[in-house]
């Protein structure tokens, strides 16, 4: 093959490479241009002033009677623990069932025992390590508050206790509040309120533990 023939064959390949390089370059410039357009587009940054609005503020209030998606709270009783007149709820918005109390106990053991302890005395693990001790649930003042009070404190926080609304959904906050009330009742039951069978069970002597490996009577 002559040198002239080789030049003829290499010419298209050279042209193709040049075209590809040009396309890549143009694509890069185009991408950079688009990115800069997006980066430098006119916009209002938070807390910056603005000459567009009459009040000179760049941040705008929500339109009247609107709520953000997923934040509608039509049932104020369920979501706030308060009645229509603003007073604290005296009972949960759902039936006080065994399942509710068991759910409340489970959630209480996870979120509340580190500070309040398993019996509600306020001597949890972090308290024994120096954290400020919370008030015992068994003090007379807290025994007399409506159950909605506990829901409100879990929702909004109180003192050094933060809000647990981000971690605990409303239905679980109600379950915990119901269990706290059960804890209070368990420590302050009057004998007159018990049935004869319950009193007899309390007076019965405790069964002796079986010896390891021994036969049952």
Phi, psi for residue 103 in degrees, rounded to 5:
-65, -40
pLDDT at 211: 47
d(CA 174, CA 147): 9
What's the alpha-carbon Rg for the chain, to the nearest Å?
Answer: 35
Write the pLDDT tens digit of every residue in 157-195: 998 899 999 999 999 999 999 999 999 998 887 778 878
| Residue 184 contacts residue 176 (beta carbons within 8 Å) | no
pTM over the 0.75 mark: no
| Residue 153 contacts residue 134 (beta carbons within 8 Å) | no
Write the pLDDT tens digit of every residue in 99-145: 999 999 999 999 999 999 999 999 999 999 999 999 999 999 999 99
d(CA 91, CA 119): 21
Report residue 19 as tokens.
């075209």
Q: How many other C-beta atoms can be found within 10 angstroms of the C-beta atom of residue 90?
A: 11
Decide which of 216 and 164 is more confident: 164
DSSP the chain: --HHHHHHHHHHHHHHHHHHHHHHHHHHHHHHHHHHHHHT---PPTT-B-SSSTT-BSS-PPPTT---TT-----HHHHHSB-TTSPBPSS-SS---HHHHHHHHHHHHHHTHHHH-TTSSS--HHHHTTPPPPPPTTSHHHHHS-HHHHHHHHHH-BTTBPP-TTTS-HHHHHHHHHHHHHHHHHHS--GGGS-HHHHHHHHSPPPPPPPTTPPP-
Report residue 29 as tokens.
């410039």
| Residue 130 contacts residue 69 (beta carbons within 8 Å) | no
What domains can be seen in the chain, in order of their start residue?
113-188 (1.10.760)
Return the biggest CA–CA distance within the chain. Answer: 120
Query: Model confidence at 41, in pLDDT bands (50, 70, 90)?
Result: confident
Write the pLDDT tens digit of every residue in 72-96: 778 889 999 999 899 999 999 999 9
Burial category of 171 from C-beta neighbours within 10 Å (exposed 0-12, middle 13-18, buried 19 and up): middle
pLDDT at 109: 97
Average pLDDT of the residues in 57-62:
83
Q: Which of 2-16, 17-31, 55-69, 192-206 has the lowest mean pLDDT?
A: 2-16
pLDDT at 23: 64
């Amino acid at each position: 093959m002559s040198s002239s023939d080789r030049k003829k064959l290499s010419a298209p390949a050279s042209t193709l490479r040049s075209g590809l390089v040009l396309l890549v370059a143009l694509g890069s410039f185009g991408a950079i241009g688009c990115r800069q357009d997006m980066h430098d587009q006119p916009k209002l940054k938070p807390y910056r002033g603005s000459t567009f609005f009459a009040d000179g503020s760049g941040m705008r209030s929500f339109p009247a009677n609107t709520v953000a998606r997923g934040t509608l709270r039509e049932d104020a009783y369920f979501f706030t623990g308060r009645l229509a007149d603003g007073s604290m709820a005296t009972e949960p918005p759902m039936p006080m069932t065994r399942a509710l109390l068991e759910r409340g106990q489970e959630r209480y053991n996870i979120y509340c025992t580190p500070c309040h302890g398993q019996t509600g005395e306020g001597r949890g693990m972090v308290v024994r390590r120096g954290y400020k001790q919370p008030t015992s649930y068994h003090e007379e003042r807290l025994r007399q508050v409506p159950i909605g009070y506990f829901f409100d404190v879990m929702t909004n926080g109180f003192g050094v206790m933060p809000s647990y609304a981000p971690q605990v959904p409303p239905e679980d906050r109600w379950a915990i509040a119901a269990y706290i009330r059960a804890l209070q009742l368990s420590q302050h039951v009057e004998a007159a309120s018990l049935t004869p069978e319950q009193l007899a069970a309390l007076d019965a002597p405790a069964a002796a533990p079986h010896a390891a490996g021994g036969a049952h009577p």
